[in-house]
Amino acid sequence: MSIELDQSLEGILLENLKKQQQKYIETSHLIHANPEVGNEEYYASQQLISLLEAAGFDVDREIPEHPTAFKARKSCGKPGAKIGYLAEYDALPGIGHACGHNIIGTASVAAAIALSEVLPQTGGEVIVLGTPAEEGGPNGSAKGTFVRHGLVQELDACMMVHPLGRTTGSAPTLAVDPVDFEFVGKTAHAASNPEDGVNALDAVIQLYNGLNALRQHVTDDVRIHGVILDGGDAPNIVPDYARARFYLRAATRETCDELTKKAEKIAKGAAEMTGAAYKMTRIQNGVDNFKVTPLFDRVFQQKITALGHHFYEDRKGLGSTDAGNISQVIPTIHPYIKIGPESLVAHTDEFREAAKSKQGDDALIKGATALAQTGLELLTDGHLLKNIREEYERL
């Protein structure tokens, strides 16, 4: 069943965003000025929760495993679609909001609040998922936790918008397993009695060599990259502990799982070669590849283009995102919006500054507007939502 979409409903959205835009820009800047890494975003999450509660959303803060996560919802009691928005708000260690999550979280909350204003006419429900630690790290990628605990499956569709150097659509991304490999050996004096020692660092080096050899025998989509986090304390002491962290990526979850199994076999071999014991630990949720739903993307494209953004059709995968986990269970969009020159590269000082620039502020408001308008289309056009779901199921 579809609802007549008239200008009055869209006018409610636009009026709400116009009245609140300065508050949203201030919120984005406050989050930017107080960067917090994953699962420590107490200030940022509270800023967003305060906006939602003031707009009449019920907020659940008791999300398993993540103290800074939340799920906010607003309904008028009438049946209809459940539209979700993804809010990210973690910063990068040392460099702050160099991926623009201050814009992402605020835009999603602004869009949700604006859309919630029309629920008495449209029915349905608006839900915001506050998802910490998108950048990973210990117990990172909270969207994977939301999926594991069944906190997203009720939604009919979900969306967000990410800052970038150009405005473009959702792109396929890589699945990734962030893994620690630990080796335990035995200390000894490296000069007087090295024969009594078991060198854990040697095991890490063999792991590195084995994974380098594996790179020659994988498909083009696979990416293997890592660092040594612990390698010993002094050259004259045989290291009894060493640790390396690797990100193992591939185009699909299935390929990534196989890659991780091969990497563990190499770690086991390195341990046997050196006599060390080994342990492999997944330090966070595995991240799934992003499943693009073209029809859903086109709705956002129409909205953002009408707001004056040039939309680039060519889309390239940009690493990995745990929005991929959401996209594997419900139709999801993750488009990008321009906040600076096309040369802008995420995770840099320049990107951090763009995330609080006038162009970044404009992208925040226009991105929120396009997200709200997209949500309105889904609430009022049951045929469109049905077609999106059917396309998604065929992918």
Amino acid at 311: F
**Res. 313: pLDDT tops 90:** no
Between CA 274 and CA 263 the distance in angstroms is: 17
Between CA 65 and CA 145 the distance in angstroms is: 8
Between CA 251 and CA 264 the distance in angstroms is: 19
Check if the beta carbon of residue 172 is closer than 8 Å to that of residue 292: yes
Strand partners, 72: 59, 128
For residue 222, which phi and psi values (nearest 5 degrees)?
-75, 135
Q: Where are the domains of the chain?
A: 9-173+288-394, 179-282
CATH for the 179-282 domain, from 3.10.510.20, 3.30.70.360, 3.40.50.10540, 3.90.1170.50:
3.30.70.360
Check if the beta carbon of residue 57 is closer than 8 Å to that of residue 115: no
Question: Could you read off the pLDDT of 342-387 as tens digits, one per residue?
Answer: 999 999 999 999 999 999 999 999 999 999 999 999 999 999 999 9
pLDDT band at 314 (very low <50, low <70, confident <90, very high): confident
45 or 4, which is more confident? 45
Tell me the Ramachandran region of residue 247: left when phi exceeds 0, alpha when psi lies from -120 to 50, beta otherwise. beta
Question: What pLDDT score was predicted for residue 339?
Answer: 98
Question: Could you read off the pLDDT of 84-125 as tens digits, one per residue?
Answer: 999 999 999 999 999 999 999 999 999 999 999 999 999 999
Between CA 147 and CA 179 the distance in angstroms is: 20
CATH superfamily placement of domain 9-173+288-394: Zn peptidases (3.40.630.10)
* Residue 53 CB neighbours (<10 A): 12
pTM check: above 0.85: yes
**Res. 317: pLDDT tops 70:** no
